[in-house]
Amino acid sequence: MTTYITTPIYYVNAEPHLGHAYTTIVADTYSRFRRLCGEDVRFQTGTDEHGDKIAEAAAREQVSPPEYVDRISALYKKSWPLFDIAPDTFIRTTDAVHIQTVQRVLQQVYDQGDIYFGEYSGLYCKGCERFLTEKELVGGNCPDHQRPPEQITEQNYFFRMSRYQQALIDHIHAHADFISPERYRNEVLSSLSEPLEDLCISRPTARLTWGIPLPFDSRFVTYVWFDALINYLTGIGYPDGPSFAKYWGAAEHVIAKDILKPHAIYWPTMLLAMGLPLYQRLHVHGFWNVGDVKMSKSIGNVVRPGALAAEYGVDTVRYFLLREMSFGLDASFTPTAIVTRNNSDLANDLGNLFSRSLAMLEKYSSGLVPAPGIALDIDKALTRTALQMLSGYHEEMARFQFHRALQGVWELISHANKYIVGTEPWTLAKDPAQEARLSAVLYNLVECLRLLTLVLRPVMPRTSARMAAGLGLEDDDPRISNFPQGARWGLSRAGTKLHKTESLFPRVETPVQGQVAVTPGGADCARQAAPAQGKKKVKGTDAEVGVIDFAQFQQVDLRVAEVVAAERIVKSDRLLKLTVKAPEERTIVAGIAQYYTPEEMVGRLLLIVANLEPVELMGVQSEGMVLAASTVVDGKKRLVLTTVSAEVAAGSKVA
Ligand code: ME8
């Protein structure tokens, strides 16, 4: 099996930012995932270097376009290793081979009569480098660049796009996953329900010289989109190269929604005209905003990727971007959000599981993988979660639903952390009769860590490599480097030597709210120091409690929980045993029996502290605390439960 995955080729009219990094990290993660699945993968990115915008940017810097594009293209190329992004090809539209390919395609399409000469008058947006239709305007402005397009009339060459409209509609209907997520497929089908205009594919040299000359009329250069889209063919050696034959049939493009139309309409109709098979899938994601504002080079509010990687670490940034954005929807970047993911998901959940487990293996098993034992129910439940995670992971990664794949992975991490609490290896270690049981528990933890090493490899290659080293596994061991082979339970071998490793993710100080410095031209992400801690008294707080800083507050995992069952605890008139979903089920013992009956509890949404150390109350393990306000009614104490003001999903975070 082969995979050919591409990013857009980025305009060199400004430097790379977080949005470019995101798309490229997505493509890199996907290429690593496919390699993990044993496929032959080609991953391509690059830069788009012709056209009005680039010529203008060079003029602003008072350098020639070639000098300018060399400088900015190199910045893109240098950025990707900062994120462990490893493309196989970095293509530039100024490469001689690309220019040849574009001219060859133009000549072919012209010879077969799909390019004609005509006059066109239309609304042209320089930012988009294309003519817009009236319908696309919002309040007379280009919606992406917030300025009115110019009315231009000129003689030009046109590609008979309209001729291929029906064939494209048919193809989209016949291939459900041609464009995804579905909202973008629907958007394309809806714009195809109107007649397509032919595409103007030239610019007169009187207006623009920085482009690829038309092979059949030297008074014109090629429209930048017709030039740029062909990069996907040039990079694999179209038309005769062996890589073309091998990879084209497996092509998948990743883009953001801003360039849906060129990829979902221009490009497939161009391919139809060339007589080539269409790409397999187009994956469309939303925008990263800074706060609520779209980030773009044209607007000038950018977060620089280099600064992010240096500040938070490569894997934290990769994980954050993939976990935080629901692929297809917009997401908002803030330093607080990334630090929270680092401290809670990475340092607390994954990092702690790894270091606790290895420390126990060192202490109770001489740093060796112990023998697996007989599986009790508690072990079987853990194995079930692991196997469910593996199948969900494969499905979601293949569908570009990275956030869901990672959610599933974190369910296993959370289950494994609870498994440690539930099995209490430290207690087993005190009883020689429990030696076999202790081995079994520790073996199960090693298996969880190995499976996590396997599935995190495409997402966080460095962390996965460090975990592998800790588990005493070579980097190319199929149990952590090959999905079908490694994705089974029970492959760890007793006697394997484990190694101590440094903590995987140090905690990062939490920034104060609203600290992304955004300045025109692109300031980097900056964090201010957290406020000093102290026992100061601030308005409305208890003097003894004192003041906590934001980082301390963030250690408290507050969640919305839905009560699914409630019962009295026999022999206690104060305690209710609640079964809640937050989002996984857990038991909480709450001292509210004098104020609430079990019947009136079921179905309620409560606020809980989800990460309190579990305690046993009247023989029942309580995993969390329900929040309630204490008051006095008619001279009597009363507890009033807290809740949310509108219905939200069980497990939603409260902050
Ligand atoms: O459009 N959020 O180049 P470009 C998420 N040269 N992704 C973003 C983003 C944001 N705020 N801003 C940019 C071009 N991107 C053409 C492409 S392809 C044949 C030619 C990412 O430099 C996203 O992938 O404007 C988007 O589609 C792309 O950068 C646009 O890059």
Respond yes or no: is residue 17 known to be catalytic: yes
Ligand 1: distance of its center to the CA of 225 in Å? 13
Identity at 629, one-letter amino acid code: A
Same domain, yes or no: 353 and 308: no
Ligand 1: distance of its center to the CA of 127 in Å? 12
259: Cβ below 6 Å to ligand 1?
yes
287: Cβ below 6 Å to ligand 1?
yes
For 243, half-sphere exposure in the C-beta direction (CA atoms, 13 angstrom radius) is 17
What does the CA dihedral 74, 75, 79, 81 come to, rounded to 10 degrees?
20
- Active-site annotation holder among 142, 200, 448, 525: 142
Same domain, yes or no: 276 and 351: no
Last residue of a domain, one of 285, 317, 349: 317
Rg of the chain on CA atoms, in Å: 29
Assess if residue 496 is contained within a domain.
no
Number of Cβ within a 10 Å radius of residue 191: 16
Same domain, yes or no: 27 and 88: yes
Number of Cβ within a 10 Å radius of residue 574: 15
Ligand 1: distance of its center to the CA of 10 in Å? 6
Ligand 1: distance of its center to the CA of 592 in Å? 54
Same domain, yes or no: 521 and 481: no
Last residue of a domain, one of 317, 350, 367: 317
Going by alpha carbons, the residue nearest to atom 31 of ligand 1 is: 10
Same domain, yes or no: 162 and 279: yes
76: Cβ below 6 Å to ligand 1?
no
Ligand 1: distance of its center to the CA of 219 in Å? 30
Q: Looking at residue 135, what is its pLDDT? A: 85
Question: Ligand 1 test: best mutation among 7, 18, 23, most atoms within 8 Å of CB?
Answer: 23
Going by alpha carbons, the residue nearest to atom 26 of ligand 1 is: 256
Assess if residue 504 is contained within a domain.
no
**Containing structural domain, residue 541:** 515-641
18: Cβ below 6 Å to ligand 1?
no
Ligand 1: distance of its center to the CA of 6 in Å? 12
Q: Looking at residue 515, what is its pLDDT? A: 34
| Positive/negative CA dihedral, 364, 369, 374, 379 | positive
Measured between its terminal Cα atoms, the distance across the chain in Å is 45
Place of tokens 């969640």: 559
Place of tokens 């409305």: 540
- Grouping H, G, I as helix, E, B as strand and the rest as coil, residue 217 is strand
- Active-site annotation holder among 37, 128, 448, 525: 128
Respond yes or no: is residue 448 known to be catalytic: no
Q: Looking at residue 541, what is its pLDDT? A: 36
Respond yes or no: is residue 175 known to be catalytic: no
Structure tokens at 570: 């026999």
- Active-site annotation holder among 50, 53, 125, 418: 125
Ligand 1: distance of its center to the CA of 197 in Å? 24
CATH number of the domain that residue 632 is part of: 2.40.50.140
Q: Looking at residue 618, what is its pLDDT? A: 83
Ligand 1: distance of its center to the CA of 492 in Å? 43
Same domain, yes or no: 340 and 308: no
Same domain, yes or no: 36 and 161: yes
Same domain, yes or no: 308 and 346: no
Assess if residue 53 is contained within a domain.
yes
Q: Looking at residue 540, what is its pLDDT? A: 37
Question: Ligand 1 test: best mutation among 259, 261, 303, most atoms within 8 Å of CB?
Answer: 259
Same domain, yes or no: 261 and 379: no
Assess if residue 225 is contained within a domain.
yes
Question: Residue 429 to residues 364, 371, 380, 433, 538: CA-CA distances in angstroms?
Answer: 7, 15, 21, 9, 47
Assess if residue 66 is contained within a domain.
yes
Respond yes or no: is residue 125 known to be catalytic: yes
Domain count, the chain: 3
Same domain, yes or no: 313 and 350: no
Last residue of a domain, one of 258, 287, 317: 317
Question: Residue 6 to residues 178, 260, 444, 643: CA-CA distances in angstroms?
Answer: 15, 14, 39, 46
CATH number of the domain that residue 40 is part of: 3.40.50.620
Respond yes or no: is residue 297 known to be catalytic: yes
Q: Looking at residue 551, what is its pLDDT? A: 62
Going by alpha carbons, the residue nearest to atom 29 of ligand 1 is: 20
Assess if residue 495 is contained within a domain.
no
**Residues 106/215, Cβ–Cβ less than 8 Å:** yes
Any idea how long the chain is? 655
- Each residue's pLDDT tens digit, 421-436: 999 999 999 999 999 9
**Residues 617/589, Cβ–Cβ less than 8 Å:** yes
Assess if residue 497 is contained within a domain.
no
- Active-site annotation holder among 77, 126, 145, 257: 145
Atom of ligand 1 nearest to the CA of 13: 22
Q: Looking at residue 224, what is its pLDDT? A: 95
11: Cβ below 6 Å to ligand 1?
yes
Same domain, yes or no: 46 and 182: yes
Going by alpha carbons, the residue nearest to atom 23 of ligand 1 is: 256
Between CA 645 and CA 655 the distance in angstroms is 14
Same domain, yes or no: 110 and 245: yes
Between CA 543 and CA 36 the distance in angstroms is 56
288: Cβ below 6 Å to ligand 1?
yes
Between CA 497 and CA 473 the distance in angstroms is 9
pTM: 0.78
Structure tokens at 69: 């594009």
Respond yes or no: is residue 142 known to be catalytic: yes
Between CA 450 and CA 487 the distance in angstroms is 9
Respond yes or no: is residue 20 known to be catalytic: yes
48: Cβ below 6 Å to ligand 1?
yes
Assess if residue 276 is contained within a domain.
yes
Q: Please list, residue by residue across 47-57, b when 16 or more beta carbons sit within 10 angstroms of its beta carbon and e when fewer do.
A: bbbbbbbbbeb
For 217, half-sphere exposure in the C-beta direction (CA atoms, 13 angstrom radius) is 19
| Positive/negative CA dihedral, 472, 478, 481, 486 | negative
Structure tokens at 151: 């009315």
CATH number of the domain that residue 422 is part of: 1.10.730.10
Between CA 187 and CA 172 the distance in angstroms is 12
Q: Looking at residue 554, what is its pLDDT? A: 73
Respond yes or no: is residue 363 known to be catalytic: no
How high is the mean pLDDT in each 10-residue block of the chain (655 residues)? 98 91 98 98 98 92 96 96 97 98 98 95 84 88 90 94 98 98 98 95 93 98 97 97 96 97 98 98 95 69 86 96 97 92 96 97 98 96 98 98 98 98 97 97 98 98 98 98 98 97 87 37 28 35 49 81 89 88 90 88 90 83 89 73 84 88
Between CA 161 and CA 166 the distance in angstroms is 10
Q: Looking at residue 645, what is its pLDDT? A: 77
Number of Cβ within a 10 Å radius of residue 177: 14
Q: Please list, residue by residue across 410-431, b when 16 or more beta carbons sit within 10 angstroms of its beta carbon and e when fewer do.
A: bbbbbbbbbbbeebebeebbee
